[in-house]
């Protein structure tokens, strides 16, 4: 097993709850709003 | 009337053209020279590459847009710049050769008052024998390439459905490639597609990259603050690879691609081969093959362009070790130091050095990513240079130039990991600044409050939203300028 394979094998696996949240429509709508807000803040800075 | 010539109509060149026209209206003649007839929203090519979008959904013809906006359009390739003009006329000009089928091969000299070089990269498949659609691997660099990849992938899926085992290798085809993010996206879109089609179990999906660690992405990796801890993009990305069962080969330089076999060297100098049934390997980039001449006819290509073919701008190109790299090395105005009316933006400007730590194998092979400068930074550069030139045309040559250093700019990167309004996902990343500044931000070199990453369905929605928004903007439809770069 290479170092890279070992490192991947030891990486944290998302829990079932995390995987559900990643697909949950209600939760993802809030993440969509939060991420786009953060992105707009960044874009605003980039334009100065 | 002043004339501004823009070489290239990708994200930076097209953005510059639209902003110049909006700023100057009838005060200047804007001419765009590009060998392609279509504009391409390249970030969505990965969806074309898995058959989820068509070429027509990610491209549109430029000519009608430029006609409507009163921007001159030459479907042609620039072959030489004469920044000092000729012995008879000091006005700079470019030699162009038409690629427009109705005028194919015809030549023209196009004078300019200001020149923006936004030619993007030359896809340097020739750097690796056997690389590319004319060789033994596929690409998603253009919409046409992506369509070919989708057709090849479909053949593999059919074979998997018939019960055959297949190895799919996706990554970069040279030790000095950039755009690892696109390879990452295509890997997980293919993996997603295989699962959706019920054939994942029979497929071995391998990511092959020149990155030292997963999550480097050519920006030296990132650090995120999550749940009270500082998390590296390495661990974050490895987690996704583990979850989705994708193998990775890192620190690799592809030496050649034979039919069904990739030959590569690793950073420790060892040589390996990897058998494959399907390979999508991105090529390294270099500048387009353009020459430059002084007014006496002397070849000044090496003065204007760096050895990698990209245009030298106001960066600090002095060779220095990684430990001495600073954010100040990076260009701010994108003005050519020797000719004040020439600018280079997007991928076409020569970066002072990489962002990721440079590494060589004991055999002297460079195996480390070149710096990415696509997407959002390209658009911001195009707009900034357009505003600088507009200001100079209105107020004269002493008007101050605007700045947009990648060391003072953030970026958002949405790396798709599968499509579908309910089943899609993407890694949504923001980082500030793009170029790490370890004096301002000790440790990672980036602001932890503005550098973040999360995986989920909402990332896919954002990427899809950006697809429609940026195509709307590029078509210069009502209010286009209100959509930021």
Annotate B188-214 with DSSP letters as a single string.
HHHHHHHHHTT-GGGEEEEEE-S-SST
Nearest by CB: A8 against B241, B380, B450: B241
Evaluate if residue B227 carries a pLDDT over 90. Answer: no
CB of A29 less than 8 A from some CB of B: yes
8-state DSSP, B441 = S
Q: Classify residue B311 by its DSSP letter.
A: B
B344: containing domain: 2-123+285-404
B189 falls within a domain: no
- Chain A, nearest residue to B208 by Cα: A4
A8 in a structural domain: no
Structural domain containing residue A33: 14-46
Cis peptide before B395 (omega within 30 of 0): no
pLDDT for A48 beyond 70 = no
Give chain B positions within 8 Å (CB) of A45: 409-410, 432
Q: Is residue B428 assigned to a domain?
A: no
For residue A29, tell me if it sits in a domain: yes
pLDDT of A46 reads: 59
How many domains does chain A divide into?
1
Name chain B contacts of A21, Cβ cutoff 8 Å. 456
CA–CA distance, B54 with B187 (Å, rounded to integer): 19
Give the residue from chain B lying closest to A11, CA to CA.
Answer: B239
Residues B49, B54, B57, B58, CA torsion sign: positive
What are B239-271's pLDDT values in tens digits?
A: 999 999 999 999 999 999 999 999 999 999 999
pLDDT tens per residue across span B148-191: 999 999 999 999 999 999 999 999 999 999 989 999 999 999 99
Q: How far apart are CA B371 and CA B392, in angstroms?
A: 30
Residue window 257-316, chain B: list those with CB within 8 Å of chain A: none
Chain A residue numbers with beta carbons less than 8 Å from the beta carbon of B249 are: 2, 4
| Count of domains observed in chain B | 1
CA distances for B178 relative to B228, B230, B397, angstroms: 32, 26, 36
Confidence of residue B373 (pLDDT cuts 50, 70, 90): confident
**Gap between the terminal Cα atoms of chain A:** 49
**Residue B466 sits at the chain A interface (C-beta within 8 Å):** no
pLDDT at B226: 86
Cα dihedral B150, B152, B155, B159 sign:
negative
> Over 90: is that where the pLDDT of B347 sits?
yes
pLDDT of residue B371: 95
Q: B177 lies in a domain?
A: no
- Indicate if the pLDDT at residue B344 is higher than 80: yes
Judge whether B44 lies within some domain. yes
Please, which residues 194-233 of chain B have a Cβ atom closer than 8 Å to chain A? 214
Chain A positions touching B247 (Cβ under 8 A) are 5, 8
Which of A5, A7, A32 is nearest residue B458 as measured by Cβ atoms? A32
**A40 found inside a domain:** yes
Within-domain flag for B459: no
Does residue A5 sit within a domain?
A: no
When the pLDDT of each residue in chain B is averaged and rounded to a whole number, the result is 96
pLDDT in tens, B9-50: 999 999 999 999 999 988 999 999 999 999 999 999 999 999
Is position B446 within any domain?
Answer: no
Measured between beta carbons, the chain B residues lying within 8 angstroms of A31 are: 454, 456, 458
Q: Are B452 and B32 in contact (CB under 8 A)?
A: no
Residue B152 lies inside a defined structural domain of this protein: no
pLDDT tens-digit readout, B184-226: 999 999 999 999 999 999 999 999 999 999 999 999 999 999 8
Query: Has residue B376 got a pLDDT over 90?
Result: no
Contact B452 A38 (CB under 8 A): yes
Cβ of B457 and A36 within 8 Å? no
* Residue A33 belongs to a domain: yes
pLDDT digits (tens, 9 = 90+) for B361-371: 999 999 999 99
The pLDDT value recorded for residue B375 is: 81
Indicate whether A39 belongs to any domain. Answer: yes
Beta bridge partners of B74: B33
Per-residue pLDDT tens digits for B436-460: 999 999 989 999 999 999 999 999 9
Query: Is residue B397 a part of any domain in this protein?
Result: yes
Helix axes B11-24, B376-395, angle to 10 degrees: 30
Closest residue on chain A to B215 (Cα): A8
Rounded Cα distance between B444 and B439, Å, is 10
- B193 reaches A (C-beta below 8 A): no
* Chain A with chain B: Cβ pairs closer than 8 A: 96
Determine contact: A1 vs chain B, CB below 8 A: no
Is residue A7 in some structural domain? no
CATH code of the domain covering residue B370: 3.50.50.100
Predicted confidence (pLDDT) per residue in B87-143, tens digit: 999 999 999 999 999 999 999 999 999 999 999 999 999 999 999 999 999 999 999
- Does residue A1 fall inside a structural domain? no
Strands (E), B398-445: 411-416, 426-431
Do the chains contact at A35 and B428, CB–CB below 8 Å? Answer: yes
pLDDT at B155: 98
Could you give the CA distance from residue B434 to residue B372 in angstroms, rounded to a whole number? 10
Instruction: Say yes or no for a CB contact (<8 Å) between A35 and B454.
Output: yes
């Amino acid at each position: 097993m290479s170092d890279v394979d070992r490192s991947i094998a030891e990486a944290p696996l998302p829990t079932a709850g995390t995987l559900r949240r990643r697909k949950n429509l209600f939760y993802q709508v809030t993440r969509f709003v939060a991420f786009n807000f953060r992105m707009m803040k960044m874009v605003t800075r980039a334009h100065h | 009337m002043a004339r501004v010539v823009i070489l290239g109509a990708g994200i930076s060149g097209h953005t510059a053209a639209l902003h110049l026209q909006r700023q100057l209206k009838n005060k200047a003649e804007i001419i765009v020279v590009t060998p392609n007839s279509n504009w391409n929203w390249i970030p969505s090519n990965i969806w074309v590459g898995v058959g989820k979008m068509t070429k027509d959904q990610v491209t549109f013809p430029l000519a009608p847009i430029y006609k409507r906006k009163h921007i001159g359009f030459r479907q042609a390739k620039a072959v030489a710049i004469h920044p000092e003009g000729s012995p008879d006329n000091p006005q700079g000009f470019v030699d162009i050769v038409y690629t427009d089928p109705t005028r194919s091969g015809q030549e023209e000299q196009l004078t300019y008052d200001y020149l923006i070089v936004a030619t993007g990269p030359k896809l340097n498949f020739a750097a690796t024998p056997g690389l590319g659609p004319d060789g033994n691997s596929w690409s998603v660099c253009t919409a046409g390439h992506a369509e070919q990849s989708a057709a090849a992938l479909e053949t593999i899926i059919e074979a998997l459905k018939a019960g055959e085992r297949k190895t799919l290798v996706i990554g970069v085809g040279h030790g000095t490639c950039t755009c690892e993010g696109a390879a990452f996206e295509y890997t997980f879109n293919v993996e997603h597609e295989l699962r959706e089609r019920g054939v994942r179990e029979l497929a071995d999906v391998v990511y092959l990259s020149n990155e030292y660690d997963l999550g480097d992405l050519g920006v030296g990796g990132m650090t995120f603050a999550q749940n009270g801890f500082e998390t590296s993009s390495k661990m974050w990305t490895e987690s996704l690879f583990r979850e989705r069962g994708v193998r990775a080969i890192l620190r690799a330089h592809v030496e050649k691609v034979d039919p069904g076999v990739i030959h590569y060297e690793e950073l420790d100098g060892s040589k390996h081969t990897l058998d494959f049934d399907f390979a999508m390997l991105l090529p390294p980039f270099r500048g387009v093959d353009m020459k430059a001449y002084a007014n006496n006819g002397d070849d000044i290509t090496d003065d204007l362009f760096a050895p990698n073919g990209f245009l030298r701008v106001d960066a600090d190109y002095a060779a220095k070790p990684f430990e001495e790299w600073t954010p100040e090395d990076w260009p701010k105005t994108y003005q050519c130091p020797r000719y004040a009316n020439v600018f280079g933006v997007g991928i076409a400007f020569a970066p002072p050095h990489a962002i990721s730590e440079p590494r060589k194998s004991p055999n002297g092979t460079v195996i480390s990513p070149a710096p990415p400068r696509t997407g959002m930074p390209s658009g911001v550069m195009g707009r900034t240079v357009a505003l600088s030139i507009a200001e100079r045309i209105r107020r004269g040559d002493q008007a101050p130039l605007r700045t947009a250093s990648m060391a003072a700019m953030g970026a958002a990167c949405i790396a798709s990991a599968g499509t579908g309004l309910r089943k899609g996902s993407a890694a949504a990343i923001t980082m500030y600044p793009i170029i790490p500044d370890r004096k301002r931000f000790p440790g990672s070199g980036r602001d932890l409050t503005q550098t973040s990453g999360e995986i989920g369905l909402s990332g896919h929605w954002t990427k899809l939203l950006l697809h429609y928004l940026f195509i709307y903007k590029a078509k210069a439809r009502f209010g286009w300028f209100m959509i930021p770069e």
